[in-house]
Amino acid sequence: MAMTRRTAGDYLLEKGIVTREQLEEARRIQQSTGKDYLRVLIDQTIVSERDAYEARAYELGMPFVDLDRVQPDPSAVNVVKEHIARRYNVIPVKKEGNILYLAMADPSNVMAIEDVRVNSRCVVRPVIAAPGAIEDAIRKAYGGSAVATDGATPATTEGGAPVRQQDFKGSVMADVAVYGVREEMEEDEKAVLREVEEGPIVRVADMIIRQAINERASDIHVEPQARNLRIRFRIDGVLHEILTLPKYVQAPLISRYKIMADMNIAEKRLPQDGRIPIRHQNKEYDLRVSTIPTPHGEKIVMRILDKSSVLLGLNKLGFTPETQARLEELIMQPQGMILSTGPTGSGKTTTQYSILHKLNSVEKNILTIEDPIEYQLPGISQVQVNRKAGLTFANALRAFLRQDPDIIMVGEMRDLETAEVAIEAALTGHLVLSTLHTNDAPSAVIRLIDMGVEPYLIAATVTGVLAQRLARRVCQHCKEPREIRAADLRAFGFQVEDPDQVVTIWEGVGCEECRYRGYSGRIGIFELMVVNDEIAELIVRRAPLADIKEAAKANGMKELREDGLIKVLEGITTPDEVRRVVFTAGHY
Element (H, E) at 114: helix 110-120
pLDDT tens, 465-501?
999 999 999 999 899 999 998 888 888 888 887 878 8
Tell me the pLDDT band of 312, cut-offs 50, 70 and 90.
Answer: low
Residue 247 or 115, more confident:
247
Tell me the pLDDT band of 171, cut-offs 50, 70 and 90.
Answer: low
> Which residues are CB-contacts of 42 (< 8 A; sequence separation ≥ 6)?
48, 49, 52
Q: What is the DSSP letter of 311?
A: G
pLDDT above 50 (res 150): no
Tell me the pLDDT band of 20, cut-offs 50, 70 and 90.
Answer: confident
Residue 169 or 271, more confident:
271
Look at phi and psi of residue 196 and say left if phi exceeds 0, alpha if psi is from -120 to 50, else beta: alpha
Question: Looking at residue 193, what is its pLDDT?
Answer: 52
Tell me the pLDDT band of 308, cut-offs 50, 70 and 90.
Answer: low
**150 CB neighbour count, 10 Å cutoff:** 21
Asked if 491 contacts 544 with a C-beta cutoff of 8 angstroms, the reply is no
CA angle 513, 514, 515 (to 5 degrees): 95
CA 468 to each of CA 325, 363, 441, 558: distance values in angstroms, whole numbers, following the listed order: 16, 30, 9, 12
Rounded Cα gap, residues 150 and 452, in angstroms: 52
Residue 400 or 145, more confident:
400
Across 433-459, average pLDDT = 94
Question: Looking at residue 162, what is its pLDDT?
Answer: 39
> Which residues are CB-contacts of 364 (< 8 A; sequence separation ≥ 6)?
406, 407
**337 CB neighbour count, 10 Å cutoff:** 28
Residue 257 or 514, more confident:
257
**450 CB neighbour count, 10 Å cutoff:** 10
> Which residues are CB-contacts of 556 (< 8 A; sequence separation ≥ 6)?
322, 326, 530
Element (H, E) at 317: none
For the residues of 40-53, what is the DSSP string, one character each?
HHHHTTSS-HHHHH
Rounded Cα gap, residues 404 and 38, in angstroms: 62
Element (H, E) at 219: strand 217-224
Asked if 338 contacts 351 with a C-beta cutoff of 8 angstroms, the reply is no
Element (H, E) at 240: strand 238-246
Rounded Cα gap, residues 204 and 249, in angstroms: 10
pLDDT tens, 237-278?
888 888 889 888 899 899 999 999 989 988 999 999 998 988
Rounded Cα gap, residues 309 and 388, in angstroms: 31
Question: Looking at residue 201, what is its pLDDT?
Answer: 82
Rounded Cα gap, residues 221 and 298, in angstroms: 11
pLDDT above 60 (res 233): yes
pLDDT above 60 (res 165): no
SS3 141: helix
Percent of the chain residues topping a pLDDT of 70: 88
Element (H, E) at 103: strand 99-104
Among the ranges given (154-163, 353-362, 404-413, 524-533), the one the predictor scored with the smallest mean pLDDT = 154-163
pTM above 0.85, yes or no: no
Look at phi and psi of residue 323 and say left if phi exceeds 0, alpha if psi is from -120 to 50, else beta: alpha
Q: What is the DSSP letter of 505?
A: E
Rounded Cα gap, residues 77 and 141, in angstroms: 7
Asked if 183 contacts 506 with a C-beta cutoff of 8 angstroms, the reply is no
SS3 7: coil
**58 CB neighbour count, 10 Å cutoff:** 19
SS3 271: coil
CA 13 to each of CA 60, 353, 452: distance values in angstroms, whole numbers, following the listed order: 17, 58, 77
> Which residues are CB-contacts of 337 (< 8 A; sequence separation ≥ 6)?
422, 423, 426, 431, 432, 433, 434, 461, 462, 463
Asked if 259 contacts 265 with a C-beta cutoff of 8 angstroms, the reply is yes
The whole-angstrom distance between residue 29's C-alpha and the CA centroid of its chain comes to 32
Rounded Cα gap, residues 193 and 196, in angstroms: 5
**487 CB neighbour count, 10 Å cutoff:** 15
Residue 163 or 575, more confident:
575
CA 363 to each of CA 173, 367, 405: distance values in angstroms, whole numbers, following the listed order: 54, 13, 11
> Which residues are CB-contacts of 60 (< 8 A; sequence separation ≥ 6)?
107, 128, 177
CA atoms within 13 A on the CB side of 15: 15
Question: Looking at residue 39, what is its pLDDT?
Answer: 83
CA atoms within 13 A on the CB side of 211: 25
Across 334-352, average pLDDT = 90
| Residues β-bridged to residue 464 | 338, 530
pLDDT above 90 (res 37): no
Rounded Cα gap, residues 484 and 292, in angstroms: 45
Question: Looking at residue 300, what is its pLDDT?
Answer: 96
Mean per-residue pLDDT of the chain: 84
| Residues β-bridged to residue 299 | 292
Across 179-186, average pLDDT = 46
Question: Looking at residue 152, what is its pLDDT?
Answer: 32
CA 270 to each of CA 130, 200, 222, 264, 371: distance values in angstroms, whole numbers, following the listed order: 46, 28, 17, 10, 19
